[in-house]
Structure 1
Amino acid sequence: MPRRAARGLVRAWAQTAPRRQRRRGPAVTVPAEGAAMTGQPDLPSSTWSCTDGTARVVSSEPGTVRVQLAGEIDLTNSDDLGRWLAEWHVATLQIDLRQVRFLAVCGARRLAVLRTELDAGSRRLQVIPPDDVVIRRVLDALGPFELVESEAGAPG
């Protein structure tokens, strides 16, 4: 890319950055329903949200938790989302990406790091990919991910 074009991109970003920063707020977590009543305050909350994306537990079986992600996963929220996902200490963590509109490379990279962390603890990360070809290509580039197709009638 020519230097002049690069300067133009940086200048254009700098002019819009304050607006972007005002739009994006800090991540907010909602306490898990009944977590305080069960006497298990160390469990992660059942939902995670920020301005551009959400995550929620849609099913939980012994040893497996399925989390549905929606919205955008990008530089502003991928680390926070990755930390929230890493708090689930289960044998298999399934990430449902079917409702994700945008997955930045840094978001896919954070999922790859999470996969490595889970593998080190003898746990598994399974990804339910969306139909979006671009997101699938990003996952392929940073994989290998264990891709699973959703069962008919599953939430999502």
Structure 2
Amino acid sequence: MTIFSSGDLGYAWIIIFNSDKKGNYTSYTCHGDLGFVKNADSEEINDSPERKFYIQRCIRLTNPDHCPDKLEQTIIPSLNRKSYLMAKLMGMAVKNPANGAYTKINNCTWFAGYLWNSITNEQLIYEQDFNGAAYAEKWGIDYLALVSKIADPGMLAESLSKIKQID
């Protein structure tokens, strides 16, 4: 799991700028052993606006239901629940079920992509097709039979790069 949650294969997170004031932001993602993480800005985990990134998409949020307090009451708990249930299906131990779980299927890109599409009503592609049923028996991993897509930072970057207009 370490290579998958290291950021070495890519990484995705959401930053909501609450105002023009430096440091007034809220960031969200899903990390390794932690699951859901809000406002991580440390040597180990940096989801701040200062972190370097390959590609970004910035838009203005105008819907009051998309402010951080509302997201933390609606969409985010649902994502955490889905990732927790997948982890349980995979036989993974989850330290804090309320924070969900980072899995190879429900990773940072899955979290950020799903949250982005929910907030913006855009349909960024952040998953690639995966025929889990073809590998479930071969690899001895029964839950893979249920998997038809896997979130991939490269797919998200490719989808973002195709957007020509910046709001």
TM-score computed with the length of structure 1 as normaliser:
0.24
Choose between structure 1 and 2 for higher RCO, CA contacts under 8 A separated by at least 6 residues.
2
Which has more strand, going by share of residues? 1
